Amino acid sequence: MSIAHSPPENTAIFNAVNESAIGIDVHADLYVAVYQQCSFGAKNVVGHRKFTKGATKADIDELARWCVNLHPQVILMESTGVYWQALYEGLERAGFNQSNIAVVNARDVKNKKGSKTDLSDATHLAEVARRGDFTPSFVPEKAIRQLRCLFRSCCSLKNGKKRALNILHKQLTQVGCRASSVFSDIKGKIATKILEVLIAGISGSELLAAIIDIMENSRGRLKATPQKVYEALTADMDSMVWFSIRKHLDHIKFLDQQIAESEENLRQELQPYWHFVELLMTIPGIKENTAMGVICELGCDLSAFKSVRKFCKWIGLAPGNNESAGKRYSNRITHGNKYLRTLLVEVASGIGLMKQGFLHEVHQRFKERRGTKRANVAIANKLARIIYSIMKSGQPYEEQYKPVLKDHRLDRAVKAIDGLRTAGFTCDDIKVTDIDNGHSTVIFGANKKRKRSRKSP
């Protein structure tokens, strides 16, 4: 099959997958579409048409009708921000589906530099579509795409709250209030009540009495005494910055209300998928909000991912490949779905703070070998594999405990004792007994051949 813009005498032949295709260059206010058609075995393109329209709903419907009349085997467009979504839905209304609409990452189909125009970009996309030389992005069904939008909007509200809290903390410090020295979280229940009293303008003995009353009548507990809290919160009450502090506190309260309403709306919209939310909540560390976020980003159909490794790569939790001339360089994780990756890394961080469990022991083993951050990413990868298995099988998570941390630390002890020989030391035999099952392990001294034996008492 030929390159579309080549003259007949300089025709290039290549193996094509599709006889006809449409490439659409997507912009905020403009769509440029190019149609190409060529019979298998022919040396030139017999069909080459272009269509340029705006981005209103009427223009999208007209472009969709133009595509329907041409009967293309595949329609290819770049995932340019959110501009492609309205066009994608317009093509779906016209009768196209995921089998003949493909959205690709712009870096994978990038056109050559120097001769870049909207028409040449659309022509290049049409050629790539006919060759089948592209990897389509994962696009869930319309309901999941809308849920994804709601979830990401809720994430934006939470990020806005974090920014407002940071500003509030800085401004409190600016007026001489050292809240962070007595509160581990300035938005905790007790801290919020005390700070509201302070921001209301109460000071002196009235503030100390209010602090004592709040600490005595609250269920929580602070490490600092009421007197230390009062001394840390004593500030310059005449500063003009208090006006901004009050406004930021009101803004944080407003954001709390918006976040609560958004989460309740998500909970209602996710009722048809609630069975999968409950399945995900069987995984240690995954609570309701996290499970809802996973369903909003993924949906329930993972058939687009042919393997669990491709699923992890799409999220951005798979190690990358970077090798040249036989040398391996940094194999840091790839780019992917940042919202889902953030959720899983946060869950992995929480698993590291647990006291027991198989996933906690695996996290601790990675942490002792590679550090906390790499351990969080490794456990996030493991969580992604568990989620893939649960969504595919429809079965809840059942933890099967293995003493991975005991074996890891025993191996470290054996290697440490073996290393004494290199340093010029000798060591007597050491007997180690497992408290849980009573099995004994004898680690031979560094002056002898390394050997381990397990014996029951």
How many residues are there in the chain? 457
Residue range 310-327, pLDDT digits in tens: 999 999 998 877 777 878
Lowest-confidence region among 184-198, 221-235, 385-399, 412-426? 412-426
Lowest-confidence region among 3-12, 145-154, 260-269, 338-347? 3-12
CA atoms of 202 and 208, how far apart (whole Å): 9
Q: Does pLDDT of 414 surpass 90? A: no
- Residue type present at position 234: T
Cα distances (angstroms) measured from residue 364 to each of 205, 343, 411: 48, 20, 15
How does residue 452 score in pLDDT terms, banded at 50, 70 and 90? very low
Give the residue carrying structure tokens 């595509």: 67
Residues in contact with 13: Cβ distance below 8 Å, sequence separation at least 6, in sequence order: 1, 2, 43
Supply the pLDDT for residue 3: 46
Q: Provide mean pLDDT across the span 253-273.
A: 95
Share of the chain above pLDDT 70, in %: 92
Supply the pLDDT for residue 54: 81
Supply the pLDDT for residue 449: 52
CA atoms of 433 and 441, how far apart (whole Å): 6
Supply the pLDDT for residue 156: 95
Residue 382 CB neighbour total at 10 angstroms: 19
Supply the pLDDT for residue 16: 76
Q: Provide mean pLDDT across the span 174-202.
A: 86
Supply the pLDDT for residue 11: 52
271/1: higher pLDDT: 271
Q: Provide mean pLDDT across the span 147-165.
A: 95
Half-sphere exposure of 343 (CA within 13 A, CB side): 25
Lowest-confidence region among 41-45, 61-65, 229-233, 319-323? 41-45
B/e letters for 272-298, b = 16+ CB within 10 Å, e = fewer, are ebeebbebbbebbbbeeebbbbbbbbb
Supply the pLDDT for residue 445: 65
Supply the pLDDT for residue 41: 63
Q: For helices 83-93 and 57-70, what crossing angle results, to 10°?
A: 50
Residue range 24-40, pLDDT digits in tens: 999 888 899 999 888 77
Cα distances (angstroms) measured from residue 72 to each of 22, 25, 86, 102: 7, 16, 20, 12
Rg (CA), the chain: 31
Q: Provide mean pLDDT across the span 63-74.
A: 92
Cα distances (angstroms) measured from residue 26 to each of 31, 48, 77, 104, 452: 5, 19, 7, 12, 65
CA atoms of 101 and 395, how far apart (whole Å): 32
Q: ∠437-442-443 over CA atoms, to 5°?
A: 125
Q: Is 59 exposed, middle or buried (0-12, 13-18, 19+ CB in 10 A)?
A: middle
Supply the pLDDT for residue 61: 92
Supply the pLDDT for residue 315: 93
Q: Does pLDDT of 270 surpass 80? A: yes
Residue range 375-398, pLDDT digits in tens: 999 999 999 999 999 999 999 999
- Give which of 429, 343, 302, 324 is closest to 154, Cα–Cα: 343
Is residue 55 within 8 Å of 28, Cβ to Cβ?
yes
Residue 17 CB neighbour total at 10 angstroms: 15
Residue 4 CB neighbour total at 10 angstroms: 18
Is residue 92 within 8 Å of 61, Cβ to Cβ?
no
The residue extents of the domains of the chain are: 8-137, 144-269, 273-393, 413-455
Lowest-confidence region among 116-120, 306-310, 315-319, 436-440? 436-440
Lowest-confidence region among 70-84, 101-115, 123-137? 101-115
Q: Is 202 exposed, middle or buried (0-12, 13-18, 19+ CB in 10 A)?
A: middle
Q: Provide mean pLDDT across the span 353-371.
A: 91
Q: Beta strand 440-443 with 20-26: parallel, antiparallel or unpaired?
A: unpaired
User: Which CATH superfamily, name and number, covers 8-137?
Assistant: Ribonuclease H-like superfamily/Ribonuclease H (3.30.420.10)
187/279: higher pLDDT: 279
CA atoms of 312 and 333, how far apart (whole Å): 10
Q: Provide mean pLDDT across the span 284-293.
A: 95
Is residue 417 within 8 Å of 430, Cβ to Cβ?
yes
Q: Beta strand 31-37 with 20-26: parallel, antiparallel or unpaired?
A: antiparallel
Is residue 23 within 8 Å of 33, Cβ to Cβ?
yes
Q: Provide mean pLDDT across the span 435-450.
A: 69
How does residue 13 score in pLDDT terms, banded at 50, 70 and 90? low
Lowest-confidence region among 87-96, 212-221, 296-305, 425-434? 425-434
267 phi, psi to nearest 5 deg? -60, -40
Mean per-residue pLDDT over the chain, rounded: 86
Supply the pLDDT for residue 7: 52
